[in-house]
Amino acid sequence: MTNAFRLMLLVLFASVATGCKTTDNDSNTPPAITAEMPLDQALEAGVRFGAETGEKVKKLIMRRAEWPQTMALLGQSIRDNTQKYTDDQLINAAALYMSSPEHADPAVFESLVGSARPLARQIGWHLASAMPSPAIAKAIDRELSRAIQESDEESVLIPQMAMAIQNNGILTGYTWVRKGLFENGGDEFAKAMISLNPHKASSDFLEYLSLAPAEELRQMTVSSVNLYSCLVILQHLAKVHAPATNPFLGQLFAYSVSRNIGLSQVASATLDVYIAMARDQMALRLAQLPVWVQIAYLEHAQRKLTPAVTVFLEEFKGVASAPEVVEEITETVR
């Protein structure tokens, strides 16, 4: 994992504990981190106080080249205290552990994700994302198998899990991140799907977009789908094309006339790609949609009546059946 990604995780953990430099008594003074300080005492101070003390401890470990010993001691401490640490202590311990260039111990990941504490589970999946390895990938597979066997899928369907599957390149995890997208909607799931299987993702994405009724897309508030995921999806669909025979392809028209300006603009750009690629198929898709959607699209098209759009409208006119739609097309392309 890149240093930039690891830094992002450490910033995230630090933000959770903002203003919480100590964990027992805010009046306690952090000890001086000296070159002679025993490693176990330095780690205890880093876990307890975090913030600047934690940074000094990391520098001490690097100067003394003690990451292997640190990983052993800190990993065991996290395993022993996953339930006992305060939130701040657990965050500090995890941030220090993930600063190491060494491979993570799968047992630490398993201890965290097996915890009843939501924060511990999130940190465990973050650890798997930040410190990928073949051993961690196998541990992820075991955890996902456990979730299936115990009917505990909901506990793993979190954004951090999607990132861990993606960063460990677990191709068989595609089913999990797809399930996460459809049930929870976060864009982390969509991004993981793209990373693991971009072509299959295109077809599955159209099905996800169809979860939002056309009527809802004409409202100011859309709740059936995640808007951030939709933007990721639409941009992907413009690059990696779904088959023109996909039964949900007509949904792009509904998104193009959404009242959400950003969503409408991205969807319109994607729709133009498919119209250019399969004009006759897209005309048939539009003709199958409710008449009000067809009219809304025509009104939308009038504002950007390019030669390509004009040709498409002529194609659409040949398959449209509603008289008011045919009349609107005639007025538009006249």
- Reported as a pLDDT band with limits 50, 70 and 90, residue 312 is very high
User: How much is the pLDDT for 150?
Assistant: 95
Among 23-37, 172-186, 240-254, where is mean pLDDT lowest? 23-37
DSSP string, 281-308: HHHHHHHTS-HHHHHHHHHHHHTT--HH
User: How much is the pLDDT for 67?
Assistant: 96
User: How much is the pLDDT for 304?
Assistant: 83
What is the tens place of the pLDDT at every residue in 278-311? 999 999 999 999 999 999 999 999 888 888 899 9
Q: Is the pLDDT of residue 8 over 80?
A: no
Cα angle 322, 324, 330; round to 5? 105
Q: Is the pLDDT of residue 120 over 90?
A: yes
Rounded Cα distance, 205 and 3, in Å? 31
Rounded Cα distance, 129 and 132, in Å? 6
- Reported as a pLDDT band with limits 50, 70 and 90, residue 21 is very low
* DSSP code at position 332: H
Q: Which of 102, 112, 43 is nearest to 81 (CA)?
A: 112
Alpha helices in 168-320 (DSSP H): 174-184, 187-196, 198-209, 214-217, 227-239, 251-256, 261-277, 279-287, 291-302, 307-317
Rounded Cα distance, 117 and 130, in Å? 20
Q: Is the pLDDT of residue 7 over 50?
A: no
Rounded Cα distance, 85 and 31, in Å? 20
Please, what sign has the CA dihedral across residues 219, 222, 227, 233?
negative
Q: Is the pLDDT of residue 16 over 60?
A: no
Q: Is the pLDDT of residue 334 over 90?
A: no
User: How much is the pLDDT for 29?
Assistant: 87
Residues 6+ apart with CB under 8 A from 228: 186, 187
Identify the residue with better confidence: 308 or 251. 251
Q: Is the pLDDT of residue 27 over 70?
A: no
Tokens of 329: 């097309």
Q: Is the pLDDT of residue 4 over 50?
A: no
Q: Is the pLDDT of residue 181 over 70?
A: yes
What is the tens place of the pLDDT at every residue in 31-48? 999 999 999 999 999 999
- Are the C-beta atoms of 326 and 313 separated by less than 8 Å? no
User: How much is the pLDDT for 259?
Assistant: 93
Rounded Cα distance, 315 and 333, in Å? 11
Mean pLDDT throughout 251-258? 96
User: How much is the pLDDT for 255?
Assistant: 97
In terms of phi and psi (left: phi > 0; alpha: psi -120 to 50; beta: otherwise), the region of 247 is: alpha
Mean pLDDT throughout 13-40? 66
Q: Which of 72, 140, 65 is nearest to 110 (CA)?
A: 140
Rounded Cα distance, 270 and 234, in Å? 6
Q: Is the pLDDT of residue 204 over 90?
A: yes
Tokens of 204: 């599955």
User: How much is the pLDDT for 213?
Assistant: 95
